[in-house]
């Protein structure tokens, strides 16, 4: 729990509520009320204020793209803890087709190159997001290769696993070289816990790990843990049809996301990663 002394240093007056809420596995999260207004507060213990630079940049990019997401109110550091104060979106219910159209709207916002203005700062692994003209270079070298090194360093992969990864890496490199990727604004962590419907039924995106990349990256991640219905995919395809061969390439991004979880949570995800690599190798 946050102390009164800690809360008093926020740029808010008259805080009457500071209730812990679910904020995922990374942050401590709180619902605040002050002067009859609701706020959402994220706190990362003993981290610099820069910890939230990537999320702030992502939320501002979403605002520029006119995609509904929390607004940034303030950020900084209090007693050694990084914090991010956001507008509060009240949960309601809505339909998956609207969500599909919202993600298509996000993916309609083009960039000049692949990458982002800020790195992705995670608690297990971070990614540079260095600008590049090649999606394959960013995805393979900045993401997959880094994850593979982390996984080996944690003794979660042995020599045979790394050999399998190298074979899969070659397949991904070849197939991405044959696919025309366009840099568009991505959520970057689009699982079912990172969207909601507001009280009036509007879909919104939260907790971005934004970058400019191939839109199939986001779509592939939506398939890993479920939570996106048939209406989501139908509405997305109607608004922004995917390119031929997309079903095959989604496995590349499923592999990435499962490797993230293997690195972060350990051997529980070993079998899923191995199965995904086998699927890619089998064509």
User: Within the chain, what is the greatest distance between any pair of CA atoms?
Assistant: 61
Tokens 């809360």 correspond to 7
DSSP E strands, the chain: 15-21, 28-34, 37-44, 72-78, 81-87, 184-186, 195-197, 203-205, 211-213
71 touches 86 (CB < 8 A): yes
Give the whole-angstrom CA distance, residue 261 versus residue 259: 5
Q: Which one from 81, 189, 214, 263 is the annotated catalytic residue?
A: 189
Give the whole-angstrom CA distance, residue 27 versus residue 25: 6
Phi, psi of 85, deg, nearest 5: -105, 125
Give the whole-angstrom CA distance, residue 237 versus residue 100: 8
SS3 at position 210: coil
122 touches 113 (CB < 8 A): no
Give the whole-angstrom CA distance, residue 191 versus residue 227: 7
2 touches 19 (CB < 8 A): no
CA 263 to chain centre: 16
**Is residue 189 annotated as part of the catalytic site, yes or no?**
yes
21 touches 31 (CB < 8 A): yes
Name the nearest CA neighbour of 73 among 45, 123, 32. 32
Known catalytic residues are: 189
């Amino acid at each position: 729990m946050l102390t009164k002394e800690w809360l008093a240093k926020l740029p808010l007056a008259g805080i009457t509520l500071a209730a812990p809420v679910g904020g995922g596995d990374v942050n401590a999260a709180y619902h605040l009320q002050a002067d009859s207004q609701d706020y959402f507060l994220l706190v990362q213990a003993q981290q610099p204020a820069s910890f939230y630079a990537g999320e702030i940049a992502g939320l501002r990019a979403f605002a520029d793209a006119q995609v509904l997401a929390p607004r940034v109110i303030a950020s900084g550091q209090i007693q050694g803890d990084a914090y991010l104060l956001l507008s509060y979106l009240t949960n309601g219910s809505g339909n998956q087709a609207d969500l599909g159209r919202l993600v298509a709207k996000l993916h309609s916002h083009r960039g000049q190159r692949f990458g982002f203005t800020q790195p992705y700062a995670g608690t297990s692994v971070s990614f540079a997001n260095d600008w590049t003209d090649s999606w394959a270079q960013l995805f393979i070298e900045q993401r997959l290769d880094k994850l593979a090194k982390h996984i080996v360093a944690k003794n979660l992969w042995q020599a045979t696993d790394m050999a399998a990864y190298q074979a899969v890496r070659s397949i991904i490199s070849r197939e991405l070289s044959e696919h025309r990727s366009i840099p568009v604004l991505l959520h970057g962590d689009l699982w079912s816990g990172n969207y909601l419907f507001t009280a009036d039924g509007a879909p919104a995106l939260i907790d971005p790990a934004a970058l400019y990349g191939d839109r199939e990256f986001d779509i592939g991640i939506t398939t890993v843990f479920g939570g996106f219905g048939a209406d989501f995919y139908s509405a997305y395809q109607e608004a922004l049809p995917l390119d031929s061969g997309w079903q095959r390439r989604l496995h590349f991004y499923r592999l990435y996301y499962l490797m993230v979880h293997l690195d972060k949570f350990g051997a529980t995800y070993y079998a899923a990663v191995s199965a995904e690599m086998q699927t890619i190798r089998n064509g």
